[in-house]
């Protein structure tokens, strides 16, 4: 945990050491997930307060979000998510630290899909993962879009047997973020 936050702190502090044009960030990235199994009951949530920063010279990217910022349509689900599954009091944040491959060498005159190699830390467990990231660039900002899957067992998130038939072991995650210059 300390190592992850150290890397996040170092990357976040690059704003002061690099030219402003190489840093883009947001504190309003939208992360959603769907964990419904067999469409028995909708189990989804949205977090619109995730933070992401990228150094466009190196392709280094970092993200952090509070797990209690996920909002569910059903408040009881939200309570169970935080208390029983994610244990937000014990593991309040989820992080991602990685590198977007070939970022600095990419021509962004049109939408591009690049590979991101990095480590997720959720529920106190770190897991390396590669994901695809669609990137659109305008003069003012970068738009990031991604859809990927995470396995609950990879992060030691246990599903009680009483709801095992409702909750998928593989969760569909999506990301949408507009990163601007600070």
C-alpha span between 60 and 101 (Å, rounded) = 9
Looking at 20-34, 38-52, 140-154, which range is the least confident one?
Answer: 38-52
Q: Are 153 and 169 in contact (CB under 8 A)?
A: yes
Nearest to 24 by CA among 138, 121, 146: 138
For residue 34, pLDDT beyond 60:
yes
Provide φ and ψ at 90, rounded to 5°.
-90, -35
Q: In this predicted structure, what is the pLDDT of residue 18?
A: 45
C-alpha span between 62 and 9 (Å, rounded) = 9
Q: Who has greater pLDDT, 80 or 144? A: 144
Q: Who has greater pLDDT, 15 or 1? A: 1
For residue 81, pLDDT beyond 70:
yes
Which domains can be identified in the chain, with CATH numbers? 2-180 (2.40.128.110)
Q: What is the value of pTM for the model shown?
A: 0.86
Q: What is the mean pLDDT of residues 112-117?
A: 98
For residue 167, pLDDT beyond 70:
yes
Task: Give the DSSP letter string of 105-144.
Answer: T---SS-EEEEEEEEEEETTEEEEEEEEEEEEE-SSEEEE
Q: What is the mean pLDDT of residues 139-157?
A: 95
For residue 40, pLDDT beyond 70:
no
Q: What is the mean pLDDT of residues 69-94?
A: 93
Q: In this predicted structure, what is the pLDDT of residue 168?
A: 79
- 23 to 45, 95, 160, 164: CA distances (angstroms): 29, 19, 43, 43
């Amino acid at each position: 945990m300390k190592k992850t936050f150290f890397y996040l702190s170092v990357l976040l502090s690059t704003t002061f050491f690099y030219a402003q044009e190489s840093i883009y960030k947001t504190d309003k990235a939208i992360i959603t997930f769907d964990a419904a199994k067999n469409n028995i009951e909708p189990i989804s949530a949205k977090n619109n307060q995730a933070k992401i920063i990228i150094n466009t010279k190196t392709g280094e990217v970092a993200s952090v979000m509070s797990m209690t910022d996920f909002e569910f349509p059903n408040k009881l689900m939200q309570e169970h998510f935080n208390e029983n599954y994610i244990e937000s009091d014990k593991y309040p944040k989820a992080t991602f630290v990685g590198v977007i491959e070939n970022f600095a060498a990419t021509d962004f005159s049109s939408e591009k899909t690049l590979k991101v190699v990095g480590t997720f830390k959720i529920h106190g467990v770190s897991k390396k993962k590669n994901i695809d990231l669609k990137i659109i660039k305008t003069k003012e900002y970068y738009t990031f879009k991604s859809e990927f899957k995470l396995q609950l067992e990879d992060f030691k998130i246990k599903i009680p047997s009483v709801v095992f038939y409702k909750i998928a072991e593989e969760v569909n995650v999506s990301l949408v973020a507009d990163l601007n210059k600070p």
